[in-house]
């Protein structure tokens, strides 16, 4: 079944379709990870996007029940160089094609993904549409040019109701902006008593849960579009320890008065080097974001730069100089890996215990 990708700039890529026989538009992005395609396609941070895998062979180990980062994938399409229709792995339960048909997601294989990636790197992310060959390409291009990127992704992927993952340790309120399940798993593995709440939960409701700490999760889209979150975080800073990841990191920066901006093609992959400024140590990290905190906007915010990206010098970590608040742009819960930054969850545990001791003395 022939299918094509049409970009707003007029570039057209023709290949073989798999998954759902469906026309779908979205922001076309690329990810450089060599493995972990199941975690990628189920990461809520890709909501509304058409994801291009730069590793050439995808689908070879199939899909299993354990490696999902969300129950329902939020991507709008999936592009690969070579799709393997007959996967082989002892954990495999279904193929990528079967999953995409069940979840109504179109796939496209057999195109020049290197050319597509170079276009995005040189000119920025593109609006695109996966569709059949019998459409009017010129009409599609004009439609794409007039299309605006969706701005309600967090509303789409956040939990609609709070829920409880009981534990005997620290009470953590995890604000779900599009949470990867492995963030929750890392907290559970440390015996935390976790309450997951929707993105629009008020500061009063969060504090009423008597948390020892607050985790602000990852999520999709532009952080300034998350209505109400900035004011909520402002009200929480100084009350209890806060740890932010990815979108949570950007929202903390905005709440403290910094600004954010869109990257040309974003950071997406599991091989991004980050330097910790206090030690000089380099960690290889998993990342998935299209926006960054502006370094030159940090002055006067109370935030201190802690980590930078080696590749382009962008902000990768911050901490507050007065309050128990820290955050990183990358993913310390990294599933399937790497796990260089996993220790940050332990630092969050230590921060909560330290603040509880301070509170007792006071």
Task: Give me the CATH number covering residue 211.
Answer: 3.40.50.880
Residues 199 and 173 in one domain: yes
Distance in angstroms (rounded) separating the CA atoms of residues 111 and 163: 43
Task: For 237-276, give one letter per residue: b (16+ CB within 10 A) or e.
Answer: beebbbbbbbbbbbbbbbbbebebeeeebbbbbbebebbb
Convert the pLDDT of each residue in 145-172 to its tens digit: 998 888 999 999 999 999 999 999 999 9
8 flagged as catalytic: no
- Say if residue 323's pLDDT is above 80: yes
Convert the pLDDT of each residue in 81-138 to its tens digit: 999 999 999 999 999 999 999 999 999 999 999 999 999 999 999 999 999 999 999 9
Looking at 192, 246, 256, 327, which residue is catalytic? 246
Task: Give me the CATH number covering residue 18.
Answer: 3.50.30.20
pLDDT for position 125: 95
Q: Which of 116, 146, 176 is the last residue of a domain?
A: 146
Collapsed DSSP state (helix, strand, coil) of residue 266: strand
Residue with tokens 């954990």: 91
Residues 49 and 19 in one domain: yes
Looking at 267, 307, 320, 331, which residue is catalytic? 331
Residues 235 and 102 in one domain: no
Answer yes or no: are the C-beta atoms of 314 and 263 closer than 8 Å: yes
333 flagged as catalytic: yes
pTM of this prediction?
Answer: 0.96
Q: Which of 98, 120, 146 is the last residue of a domain?
A: 146
Q: What is the mean pLDDT of residues 32-51?
A: 95
Domain total in the chain: 2
Distance in angstroms (rounded) separating the CA atoms of residues 97 and 256: 45
Sign of the alpha-carbon dihedral angle for 1, 137, 9, 314 = negative
In a 10 Å sphere around its CB, with 0-12 CB exposed, 13-18 middle and 19+ buried, how is residue 224 labelled? middle
Residues 94 and 171 in one domain: no
* Residue 122 CB neighbours (<10 A): 9
327 flagged as catalytic: no
Answer yes or no: are the C-beta atoms of 77 and 107 closer than 8 Å: yes
Distance in angstroms (rounded) separating the CA atoms of residues 223 and 147: 20
Convert the pLDDT of each residue in 216-259 to its tens digit: 999 999 999 998 999 999 999 999 999 999 999 999 999 999 99
Q: Which of 95, 117, 146 is the last residue of a domain?
A: 146
pLDDT for position 362: 57
Per the prediction, the chain carries an average pLDDT of: 96
Convert the pLDDT of each residue in 246-303 to its tens digit: 999 999 999 999 999 999 999 999 999 999 999 999 999 999 999 999 999 999 999 9
Residues 173 and 310 in one domain: yes
| List of residues 6+ apart from 53 with CB closer than 8 A | 30, 31, 33, 37, 40, 78, 79, 80, 81, 113
Alpha-helical segments (H) within the chain: 37-41, 96-103, 113-123, 137-146, 153-157, 181-189, 203-208, 229-236, 247-255, 343-361
Residues 300 and 201 in one domain: yes
Residues 126 and 189 in one domain: no
Residues 17 and 157 in one domain: no
| List of residues 6+ apart from 100 with CB closer than 8 A | 18, 19, 20, 78, 106, 107
Distance in angstroms (rounded) separating the CA atoms of residues 79 and 97: 12
Helix (H) or strand (E) holding 163: strand 163-165
Q: What is the mean pLDDT of residues 60-72?
A: 95
Residue with tokens 């990867």: 180
Range of the structural domain that residue 105 is part of? 2-146
- Say if residue 347's pLDDT is above 60: yes
In a 10 Å sphere around its CB, with 0-12 CB exposed, 13-18 middle and 19+ buried, how is residue 357 labelled? exposed
Residue with tokens 């009423």: 208
Distance in angstroms (rounded) separating the CA atoms of residues 234 and 45: 23
DSSP letter at 124?
-
Residues 142 and 157 in one domain: no
Residues 238 and 336 in one domain: yes
Residues 100 and 246 in one domain: no
Residues 56 and 127 in one domain: yes
Answer yes or no: are the C-beta atoms of 341 and 285 closer than 8 Å: yes
Integer angstrom CA distances of residue 55 from 4, 28, 59, 83, 285: 20, 16, 11, 11, 17
């Amino acid at each position: 079944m022939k299918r094509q990708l049409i970009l707003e700039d007029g570039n057209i890529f023709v290949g073989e379709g798999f998954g759902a026989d469906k026309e779908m538009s979205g922001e076309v992005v690329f990810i450089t990870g060599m493995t972990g395609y199941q975690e990628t396609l189920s990461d809520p941070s890709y909501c509304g996007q058409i994801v291009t895998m730069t590793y050439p062979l995808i689908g070879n180990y199939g899909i299993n029940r354990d490696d999902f980062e969300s129950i329902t994938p939020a991507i709008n399409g999936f592009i690969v160089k070579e799709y393997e229709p007959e996967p082989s792995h002892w954990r495999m339960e279904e193929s990528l094609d079967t999953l995409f048909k069940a979840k109504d997601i179109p796939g496209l294989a057999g195109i020049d993904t290197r050319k597509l990636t170079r276009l995005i790197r040189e000119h920025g992310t593109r609006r695109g549409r996966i569709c059949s060959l019998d459409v009017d390409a010129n009409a599609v291009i004009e439609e794409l040019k007039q299309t605006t990127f969706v701005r309600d992704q967090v509303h789409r992927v956040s939990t609609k109701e709070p829920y409880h993952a009981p534990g005997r340790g620290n009470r953590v309120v995890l604000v779900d902006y599009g949470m990867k399940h492995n963030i929750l798993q890392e907290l559970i593995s440390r015996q935390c008593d976790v309450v997951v709440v929707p993105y629009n939960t008020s500061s009063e409701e969060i504090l009423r849960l008597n948390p020892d700490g607050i985790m602000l999760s990852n999520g999709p889209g532009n952080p300034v579009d998350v209505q109400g979150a900035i004011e909520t975080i402002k009200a929480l800073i100084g009350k209890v320890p806060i740890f932010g990841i990815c979108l949570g990191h950007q929202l903390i920066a905005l709440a403290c008065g910094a600004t954010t901006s869109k990257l040309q093609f974003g950071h997406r992959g599991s091989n991004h080097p980050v330097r910790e400024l206090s030690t000089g140590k380099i960690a290889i990290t998993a990342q998935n974001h299209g926006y960054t905190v502006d370094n030159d906007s940090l002055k006067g915010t109370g935030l201190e730069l802690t980590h930078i990206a080696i590749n382009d010098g962008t902000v990768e970590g911050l901490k507050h100089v007065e309050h128990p608040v820290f955050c990183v742009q990358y993913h310390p819960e990294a599933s399937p890996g790497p796990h260089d930054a996993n220790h940050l969850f332990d630092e969050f545990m230590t921060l909560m215990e330290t603040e509880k001791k301070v509170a007792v003395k006071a």
